[in-house]
Amino acid sequence: MALPMNLLAYNYSRGRVELSFINEGLRDEIELAISVMERNLLKRKEEADFSQIIDALGYKLGKGIENVLLREFYAFEPIRRNIGIDPVEIRKRIVKLLGKRGFAPNEEERLGVISRVSEELGISPSELEKIAWSDFEKNLVLMRRAEKRPEWEEVASSYNFHLLDTVLKNSYRVKVFGEFSGSDVKEVAKFCRIKGLIFEINSEGDLISIEIFGPNELFGKRSKYGREIGPIIVNVLKNGFSKLLVDFELYGKRKRLTLESLPKLMSFPIPGSIDEKVKFDSKVEEEVRRLFPKRWKILREEDVLVLEDGSIFLPDFTILLGKEKLFLEIVGFWTKSYIKRKREKLIKLWKSGVRNLILMIDEKLRREFSSVPFKKVYFGKKISLVGLQDLIRELEEKNIEKWIGRVKELISSCETDLIKEEEIQELEPILEMMNDTISEMGYVFLKGVGLIKREAILERLRELSKGEDVPLDEIKEKFEAIPPEKVGEALLKCGVKVKWISLGEALVSPP
């Protein structure tokens, strides 16, 4: 979305860069630019004349506006006709008919084919010839992208965003201060991680600072990793901010842009959409989701941890099992400055009392993070998470006695035959690991139902079976607390013999 750097309109005074945003004072000039575009509709590139825009606004601003108009509101395209068929398909029809003749056609035969195809499509031969080659570069004409002529405010808002985006995409680092909410912080973290941008978030007095290290800082040049930095930053700013600092490259020199407010006219493009189900920061994160047992609930950028010095840490993953919470941080992509900042923050996190964090670290960085006291799992080119699985197993074994105690306490205090699912929601992931303990206490666990006293199930079965084998279909609707589709599972967990006669038919033996 950025403009070419040679079209960056700015003023430079006393070491400060000020962007030349468009405001109400340039309304007439922007209206003129739109009118110039409208006068050139349906003209080919070689025929179109936009020079009046530059005459009215000067070269940088004029070419910048022309650039935005041609990118967002107008385009050179094949002339559109309401015939329901594209030029490629028309040419295929013509070639197919000509090819049947087996030799090069003369002009009369060519015109005959054109006439036949035009009849099939219900348009004149001359119109057909115009459309058939309208998508060739030399035949493209200026068209509106939308049906209506754009308003001047739309053009100005879009230009102002592109102007700021040009600086952001050429940035070394971007730092914004404001009273940001937890959801703002999480949104920035999510987009930065998936777009490959390194960021720092800190508490500074009454404000939160969000610092993003731009494509020039990381790679020395603009790259695909910086494409989304503009929409990310602008969407953070739109709800209010105190100050924006952007260090960027301008003609080979490092400059700083300082903004304390956005122009009144500013568009807010939404950063590229992300499907959490299929898109991950890295192969490592995909493996984490795959290898954790399903009973663990895995959340992305869920927790915001504030350290004693005011700095903020957002773990890559929050992993839950009942009330147990585990944080997982992946240290993969890196630069020297990133390693230093990450190591310092992790040591601060340990000193603040956090212990439930596991680090997954690129094998190449083993030495750099050896002094960090958290539990660590290393990975190389071939991702192996056996170490992580061992840590998970160790954590579960360490807590199993505590979890058993909770379940026993819950059942002992129960005076009914059913403990409903909503009453045990926090314990549900753990209960699947404790069938033996639950059974010893005279209950069975049914996911989606809750804990049911085994003797209550057996007693109801005795009433229904009257001492004889009974078809499952006849009784499954008659257990008040158990959905019909769960009755077979409940009976099996109670030790009842269920004999399957066919795929959909079973006999239940009395207890």
Radius of gyration (Cα) for the chain, nearest Å? 34
Percent of the chain with pLDDT over 90: 19
Q: What is the 3-state secondary structure (H, E, C) of 134-150?
A: CCCHHHCEEEECCCCCC
Task: Look at residue 214 in the predicted model and tell me its pLDDT.
Answer: 57
> Is residue 313 scored above 90 in pLDDT?
no
Report which of residues 82 and 173 the model is more confident about. Answer: 173
CB 380 within 8 A of CB 348: no
Task: Look at residue 216 in the predicted model and tell me its pLDDT.
Answer: 45
Measured between alpha carbons, how far is 393 from 376 in angstroms, rounded to an integer? 15
pLDDT tier at 478, thresholds 50, 70, 90 = confident
336-374 residue pLDDT tens: 777 888 898 899 899 888 888 989 888 888 889 999 999
Burial 128-150 (b: 16+ CB within 10 A, else e): bebbbebbeeebbbbebeeeeeb
144-193 residue pLDDT tens: 999 899 999 999 999 999 999 899 888 888 899 998 887 778 777 777 76
- Domains of the chain listed by start with CATH number: 5-75+149-259 (no CATH), 79-139 (1.10.10), 283-395 (3.40.1350), 414-508 (no CATH)
DSSP string, 109-132: HHHHHHHHHHHHHTS-HHHHHHHH
Ranges 20-29, 36-45, 107-116, 255-264: which has the least confidence: 107-116
5-38 residue pLDDT tens: 899 999 988 778 999 999 999 999 999 999 999 9
pLDDT tier at 447, thresholds 50, 70, 90 = confident
208-234 residue pLDDT tens: 888 887 544 444 444 444 456 777 787
**Range of 96-110, 201-215, 225-239 with top mean pLDDT:** 201-215
The dihedral through the CA atoms of 130, 132, 135, 138 has a sign that is negative
Ranges 43-47, 129-133, 155-159, 369-373: which has the least confidence: 129-133
pLDDT tier at 67, thresholds 50, 70, 90 = very high
